Structures are given as structure tokens and as C-alpha cells.
């Protein structure tokens, strides 16, 4: 018999099992609490609630650790590739050479979209935000590929998985091209995942496009850094949508909608805007004072889970330097502002006391801008990369025999029961 927790309520003691994971805090299993004590637990924002059991990603926010299937994110970013990380997240182990070749083939040969799909894009206003296009287009995949929407069939689940990882760059690049008024570029199977995506975004019929290994590697690494992050808001949205049996394309569209919010996927755009607003290093003290006076927040700083340096931010900082040097912008004034701001904040008691460290978004805006992306594409790139995390978490949930529809309860504070009053008697 393992540990138990006791709650004394209404003169009665209820004993609850305590479950242990391989790492991280134990959890008190409250599933029987309502039946035994007629009470719910209350935790809006899920700050103390484990919503599921998972074997995919582990975060230790106090130590600044992020592991995918046990492997540290910095090792994966340095030594692996995005597609290998996709395989790892989906299957639990790094692939053998043969498994990798087969996986890469499966992804590469699903990158095209049904031709009729292009007409779907044409329905959007030409100035539509690319995230609006993403939500609509990814949801529409279920209408085009309903031969892979039977969630009870493992083969269907795997095909839908391959399709989504493969088609997301094509959809994202089309959303970008559409907003620019440029022709769509078809995928090419001889290019790597990141090369293919950059080419679909930046090549135009009027001139040749050549892959740049430094920029391609940076793009791939940015995808790795955003691939999964355990039960964050968008992932929990995907799980909740999927718990009703909804098809995976619809679930991922729900995840994209959630990611769109500025507290989640939109923060890198805000961080870039902040650096632009500061503009020069000499204005940093004044800006930091404004943060301390609580007039605004330091964007790209702080995290709900990390109370230490976000391990992804370190990799992003290195990538940022590499990209800016490659595009001949090593002296970018915004990079200077970012580095100085980081130095000041990390040594200032206000930020130290509150455990505020740079998060992944602090350097990603400058990097993505140097790669050629406008701010409205930043969240789209996040969605593209996170698709594998969403789908791996969705698959894990569907394959769990104890899976149930997600149905939170509530603390009701509205009117008690009362009788209907006809309109002539109201007032």
C-alpha cells in the first residue's frame, strides 16, 4: 500500500491514494472524493491539478529542466533534428536508421495538399491574419481527409498524424503567401523539412531560391524548441476536444485557436515590440523602472512553470546570434538592447526575488525577424512546430484504456432555483 492523504471534511475522514511519477511532485488521487465526501476540488487555472498521466514531456520549472521522453531539450536541439524529435515524441524512443528513413519518407510524401484545398484559401480576405487562416484551414482538413478520421483505428490515427506533421508547413506557408499576395509554392521532396518550409515561404517565381544551411538549421532548431511543452493551455485544449471523440484535425484546429492568445503563443511578438519600443540601450533603465512601477511587464520574461532560466531560452539565444551573424546583422541594435536588458534584469533584486528569467520568447522574435518572417507569422510557426506535441498527446490519450470525456465541475455562485415570472409581472 503506497502513501495516502487524508482530508477531514464534514466530520468525516476521507483517505485518498497518493500516486508517484518517475519525476516531479506526487499527486493526490481525488477521483473518489466526490462519491465519498460529496465535495469537488476547486482549482481554476489548474495551478495545482494534474489533468492526466503522461509519458511524453517532463518539466522541472525550479531547476529549468525540459525533457522529451527523458532527453534534455538542449541535447536534442544540438544533436537531433526536428523530424527525429517528432518520431521520439510520437513513439517514445529515438528511431533506428531504418525507422528514421521510413518516417521521413512518410512525412515527405504527405506534404502536398489536395488541389481543391487551395480554393479554400481564396475565400479569406487578402489581409486575413495568418492565424485566422490556420484555424480555418486545419479544421477543414477533416473535410478533405475523412479517410483518416476513425479515431478507433490505429492505422487511421497514424495516417492522420503523418498528414498533419507533413501538411502543416504547406498550410502555414500558404497562409503567409496569401497575405503577401504571392503565388503558392509547392513542396519539394528532395529538401529537408525546414528547407522545404523556408522555400515555400520565401521563393518566388521570379528568382531562384537556395537553401542556406545556417538559416535552415536555425529554423529546424526553433521547431525543436517548440515541439512540446506538456499540459500547457493549447495542449490541454487538444486533449479536452479529443476526449469527446472529435477527429484529430478538428482537435488540432482547437489547439491552434487557443495558442493564438497573447498569454500563450503571441508573447514573442510582444517581446519584439517591446525591444523596438526601447530602441536603444540608454533607454533601458527608464523602461525597467516602468516595469518596477508596474506600468507594464517585461515581455519574454517570467513563466508560469519555469522559476529559473527557461532551458529553451539559452538555445534560442545562441541561435539568435548565429542567424544575425549569417544575415550580416550581428550589430542589430535590438540584439544589443535584448542582451543588455537581460543582463540588467538578471542582476536586479526586483527580478531575482520574483524568479523572473528570460523565456523562449525573449530571443525568438529577433531571430524570426532576421529569418524574414513578419510578426504575424510568429505564432503560426509556433503552431506548426507544436502540432507534433499536440498530436502525440492526443494519441497518448486516445490509446489510454481508462480515457474518459473531460468534464470539469464548477463552484456555482449564480441564482438559486426560482420560478419563472411572466413579462407583465417583472420590473
Contacts to ligand ACO from residues 236-275, by CB under 6 A: 263-264, 267
Select the residue interacting with ligand ACO from 172, 185, 274, 299 (CB under 6 A): 299
Select the residue interacting with ligand ACO from 136, 242, 300, 365 (CB under 6 A): 300
Q: Measured at the alpha carbon of residue 246, what is the angle toward residues 245 and 247, in degrees to the nearest 5?
A: 115
Nearer to ligand ACO, 139 or 302 (CB): 302
Residue 341 found at the interface with ligand ACO (CB under 6 A): no
Residue 389 found at the interface with ligand ACO (CB under 6 A): no
Contacts to ligand ACO from residues 93-112, by CB under 6 A: none
Q: Judged by CB under 6 A, which stretch of 3-11, 56-64, 273-281, 351-359 contacts ligand ACO?
A: 351-359
Residue in 220, 228, 332, 361 annotated catalytic: 361
Select the residue interacting with ligand ACO from 113, 175, 272, 298 (CB under 6 A): 298
C-alpha cell, 294 = 508596474
60 bridge partner residues: 65
Distance CA 364, CA 368 (A): 6
Distance CA 217, CA 195 (A): 9
Q: Judged by CB under 6 A, which stretch of 164-172, 185-193, 354-362, 409-417 contacts ligand ACO?
A: 354-362
Select the residue interacting with ligand ACO from 129, 276, 297, 336 (CB under 6 A): 297
Q: Under a CB-based contact definition with an 8 Å cutoff, are residues 63 and 308 in contact?
A: yes
Q: CB of 285: closest distance to ligand ACO in angstroms?
A: 15
Select the residue interacting with ligand ACO from 137, 172, 175, 360 (CB under 6 A): 360
Nearer to ligand ACO, 30 or 298 (CB): 298
Q: Under a CB-based contact definition with an 8 Å cutoff, are residues 120 and 170 in contact?
A: no
Nearer to ligand ACO, 117 or 378 (CB): 378
Residue 386 found at the interface with ligand ACO (CB under 6 A): no
Residue 178 found at the interface with ligand ACO (CB under 6 A): no
Select the residue interacting with ligand ACO from 146, 180, 304, 343 (CB under 6 A): 304
Nearer to ligand ACO, 30 or 278 (CB): 278
Residue 136 found at the interface with ligand ACO (CB under 6 A): no
Nearer to ligand ACO, 245 or 261 (CB): 261
Would you call 361 a catalytic residue per the annotation? Answer: yes
CA 65 to chain centre: 17
Q: Judged by CB under 6 A, which stretch of 16-24, 75-83, 279-287, 358-366 contacts ligand ACO?
A: 358-366
Residue in 303, 332, 348, 419 annotated catalytic: 303
Helix axes 193-202, 154-180, angle to 10 degrees: 30
Would you call 332 a catalytic residue per the annotation? Answer: no
Helix-strand-coil split of the chain, %, nearest 5:
55, 5, 40
Neighbours of 2 (CB within 10 A): 9
The torsion defined by the Cα of 173, 178, 179 and 180, in degrees rounded to 10, comes to 90
Q: Under a CB-based contact definition with an 8 Å cutoff, are residues 97 and 154 in contact?
A: no
Residue 356 found at the interface with ligand ACO (CB under 6 A): yes
Residue 314 found at the interface with ligand ACO (CB under 6 A): no
Count of residues interacting with ligand ACO (CB under 6 A): 17
| Residues 6+ away with beta carbon under 8 Å from 269 | 262, 365, 375, 376, 378, 379
Q: Measured at the alpha carbon of residue 183, what is the angle toward residues 182 and 185, in degrees to the nearest 5?
A: 120
| Residues 6+ away with beta carbon under 8 Å from 321 | 330, 335
Q: CB of 274: closest distance to ligand ACO in angstroms?
A: 9
Long-range contacts of the stretch 207-215 (C-beta < 8 A, 24+): 212/326, 214/322, 214/323, 214/326, 215/323, 215/326, 215/327, 215/371
Residues of the shown chain interacting with ligand ACO in the complex, contacts defined by CB under 6 A: 263-264, 267, 291, 297-304, 354, 356, 359-361
Task: Report the catalytic residues.
Answer: 303, 361
Amino acid at each position: 500500500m503506497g502513501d495516502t492523504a487524508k482530508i477531514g471534511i464534514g466530520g468525516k475522514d476521507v483517505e485518498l491514494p497518493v500516486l508517484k511519477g518517475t519525476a516531479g511532485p506526487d499527486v493526490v488521487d481525488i477521483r473518489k472524493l466526490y462519491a465519498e465526501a460529496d465535495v469537488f476540488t476547486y482549482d481554476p487555472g489548474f495551478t495545482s491539478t494534474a489533468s492526466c498521466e503522461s509519458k511524453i514531456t517532463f518539466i522541472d520549472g525550479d531547476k529549468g529542466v525540459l525533457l522529451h521522453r527523458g532527453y534534455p531539450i538542449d541535447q536534442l536541439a544540438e544533436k537531433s533534428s526536428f523530424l527525429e524529435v517528432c518520431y521520439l515524441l510520437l513513439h517514445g524512443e529515438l528511431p533506428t536508421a531504418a525507422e528514421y528513413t521510413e518516417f521521413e519518407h512518410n512525412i515527405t510524401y504527405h506534404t502536398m495538399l489536395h488541389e481543391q484545398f487551395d480554393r479554400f484559401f481564396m475565400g479569406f480576405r487578402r489581409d486575413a491574419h495568418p492565424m485566422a487562416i490556420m484555424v480555418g484551414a486545419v479544421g477543414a482538413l477533416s473535410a478533405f481527409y475523412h479517410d483518416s478520421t476513425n479515431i478507433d483505428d490505429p492505422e487511421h490515427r497514424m495516417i492522420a498524424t503523418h498528414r498533419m506533421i507533413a501538411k502543416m508547413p504547406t498550410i502555414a506557408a500558404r497562409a503567409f503567401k496569401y497575405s503577401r499576395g504571392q503565388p503558392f509554392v509547392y513542396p519539394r521532396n528532395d529538401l529537408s523539412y525546414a528547407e522545404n518550409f523556408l522555400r515555400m515561404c520565401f521563393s518566388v517565381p521570379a528568382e531562384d531560391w537556395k537553401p542556406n544551411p545556417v538559416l535552415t538549421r536555425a529554423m529546424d532548431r526553433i521547431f525543436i524548441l517548440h515541439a512540446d511543452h506538456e499540459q500547457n493551455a493549447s495542449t490541454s485544449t487538444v486533449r479536452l476536444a479529443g476526449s469527446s471523440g472529435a477527429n484529430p484535425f478538428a482537435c488540432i484546429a482547437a489547439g491552434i485557436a487557443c495558442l493564438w492568445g497573447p498569454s500563450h503563443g503571441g508573447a514573442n511578438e510582444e517581446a519584439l515590440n517591446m525591444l523596438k519600443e526601447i530602441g536603444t540601450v540608454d533607454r533601458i533603465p527608464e523602461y525597467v523602472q516602468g516595469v518596477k512601477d508596474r506600468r507594464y511587464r517585461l515581455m519574454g520574461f517570467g513563466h508560469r512553470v519555469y522559476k529559473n532560466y527557461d532551458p529553451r531560452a539559452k538555445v534560442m539565444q545562441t541561435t539568435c546570434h548565429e542567424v544575425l551573424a549569417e544575415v550580416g546583422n550581428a550589430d542589430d541594435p535590438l540584439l544589443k538592447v535584448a542582451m543588455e536588458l537581460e543582463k540588467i534584469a538578471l542582476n536586479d533584486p526586483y527580478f531575482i526575488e520574483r524568479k523572473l528569467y528570460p523565456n523562449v520568447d525573449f530571443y525568438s522574435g529577433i531571430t524570426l525577424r532576421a529569418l524574414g518572417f513578419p510578426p504575424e507569422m510568429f505564432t503560426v510557426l509556433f503552431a506548426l512546430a507544436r502540432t507534433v506535441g499536440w498530436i502525440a498527446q492526443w494519441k497518448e490519450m486516445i490509446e489510454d484504456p481508462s480515457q474518459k470525456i473531460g468534464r470539469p465541475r464548477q463552484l456555482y455562485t449564480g441564482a438559486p432555483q426560482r420560478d419563472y415570472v411572466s413579462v407583465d409581472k417583472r420590473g
